[in-house]
């Protein structure tokens, strides 16, 4: 992905606004820590810790779960005498 931006002032510093599409593609969010490297080719900005991206929500993962398909019968159960210490 490639985009263009304009350098602006933010107080006494220069600032570059990153579009949400670029931020999402790079795994950046508010508070992300980044590494900035300057070379003869330009500036390279990388996230230090890329945010984990979950492909599905919990609701989507559990949508087709039923008692028949859950594997509930494979779970261990406590015997009555195990609960009385």
The full set of domains in the chain, from first to last, is 7-73 (2.10.260.10)
Instruction: Report the sign of the C-alpha dihedral through residues 81, 83, 84, 85, in that order.
Output: positive
**Parallel/antiparallel/unpaired status of strands 42-47 and 34-39:** antiparallel
Residue-wise pLDDT for 13-45, tens only, equals: 999 999 999 998 888 888 889 999 999 999 999
Residue 50: pLDDT band with limits 50, 70, 90 = low
Of 27, 20, 19, which Cα lies nearest the Cα of 49? 27
Q: What is the mean pLDDT of residues 51-71?
A: 80
User: CA dihedral defined by 44, 33, 10, 43, rounded to 10 degrees?
Assistant: -10
Point out the least confidently predicted range of 5-9, 18-22, 53-57: 53-57
Mean pLDDT of the chain: 85
Per the CB < 8 A criterion, the answer to whether 1 and 25 are in contact is: yes
Q: What is the mean pLDDT of residues 60-70?
A: 84
Q: What is the mean pLDDT of residues 56-72?
A: 84
């Amino acid at each position: 992905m490639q985009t263009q931006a304009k350098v602006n002032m933010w107080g006494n510093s220069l600032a570059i606004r990153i579009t949400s599409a670029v931020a999402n593609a790079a795994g950046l969010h508010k508070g992300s820590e980044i590494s900035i490297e300057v070379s003869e080719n330009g500036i390279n900005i990388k996230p230090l810790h890329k945010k984990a991206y979950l492909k599905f929500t919990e609701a989507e993962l559990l949508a087709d779960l039923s008692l028949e398909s859950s594997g509930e019968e494979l779970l261990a159960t406590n015997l009555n005498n195990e609960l009385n210490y």
